[in-house]
Amino acid sequence: MGTLVGHVLPGLAFLALGLWHLFNNIKLFCLRPNIFYSSVWFPVSKIRYLELYFIMFSSSASISMELFVGPRKHQPFDSDGTIPSNHLHNFEHSFISMSFLVYAVLALVLDRARPRAPASEGLTILAAAAAFSQELLLFHFQSTDHVGFEGQYHLILQLIIFVSLLTTLMGVALPKSFLVSLVRSSSIVFQGVWFIFLGCMLYTPSLIPKGCFIYVEDGHQLVNCSTQEALHRAKALFGLSILDNTIAVVGSMVFRFWIYNSCSRTALKLCMKHVELWSQVSRNRCLSE
């Protein structure tokens, strides 16, 4: 991270994962609204662990980029074996990826274990929650001080991660709640969207607010504003971007709730038709007898 590519690529991974969860949760609810049961990962018919493989690959690629590809010496340590200050954020970001890698491996192992442990689903959810909590804590206490309007972008990111963490934990007690699954999937989508948005707005020179500029400190790109007026203008633009994203979030949630209600009504109508047909068949049998 710390660059445009470093934010966009993880954002695309979160976006793809969130959309996959949204698709599966909505599909499961439409097919079985009365016995809906969500999960933190969804198998694929031909390649059962495709989602987990995707998380493993993405996490491994992120760790490699942070620790070996990104640094100039292609290794994160100093000549005396210590961690240089300009590579601390590389370790922080790689630990986030490592937590998701551990979650994916643990989920795969628990699913393949025979006999299947009764608590395997709960342990998988707790592993996912641990990954989100690691992500939240490292972004909150990271070594890079994001000040000014740049810090506001990261604050919103932390709020989105907190929603992902909270709804994941709620999944332990409410595995049959479609709303909890919907919010969790949506938060993962928005986490990806915000990563991409953050990377584009903070690391694309043409999109930097007027009066602000990108500079490099300890090998890390940061954004600063030359005057207080430019800083206030940047914060105002940030507020407008929050408003735009809020409208998009609310609009998408309304659309998903519309799908939710449509599926419920459709399922109810189908059930009523089946009941009527069954009653009619039963009556015909009674009359024939």
Can you tell me the distance from the alpha carbon of 64 to that of 77, in angstroms, rounded to the nearest whole number? 14
Would you say residue 45 has pLDDT above 50? yes
Query: So what's the pLDDT on residue 275?
Result: 46
Residue whose tokens read 């491996």: 105
pTM of this prediction? 0.81
Query: So what's the pLDDT on residue 90?
Result: 80
Residue 15's Cβ-count burial label (10 Å; 0-12, 13-18, 19+) is buried
Per-residue confidence band for 273, with pLDDT thresholds at 50, 70 and 90: low
Per-residue confidence band for 82, with pLDDT thresholds at 50, 70 and 90: confident
Query: So what's the pLDDT on residue 261?
Result: 63
Query: So what's the pLDDT on residue 260?
Result: 59
Weakest-pLDDT range from 4-8, 153-157, 222-226, 280-284: 280-284
Query: So what's the pLDDT on residue 277?
Result: 57
Query: How confident is the model over 202-223, as a mean pLDDT?
Result: 78
Average pLDDT, the chain: 80
Can you tell me the distance from the alpha carbon of 161 to that of 265, in angstroms, rounded to the nearest whole number? 33
For residue 171, give Cα distances in angstroms to 113, 120, 185.
22, 14, 12
Would you say residue 147 has pLDDT above 70? no
Question: For residue range 239-272, what is the model confidence (pLDDT) as tens digits?
Answer: 777 666 667 766 766 666 666 566 656 655 555 5
Closest C-alpha to 96, from 191, 237, 224, 207: 191
CB 184, CB 18: distance < 8 Å: no
Question: For residue range 26-35, what is the model confidence (pLDDT) as tens digits?
Answer: 888 887 888 8
Query: So what's the pLDDT on residue 289?
Result: 53
Query: So what's the pLDDT on residue 262?
Result: 67
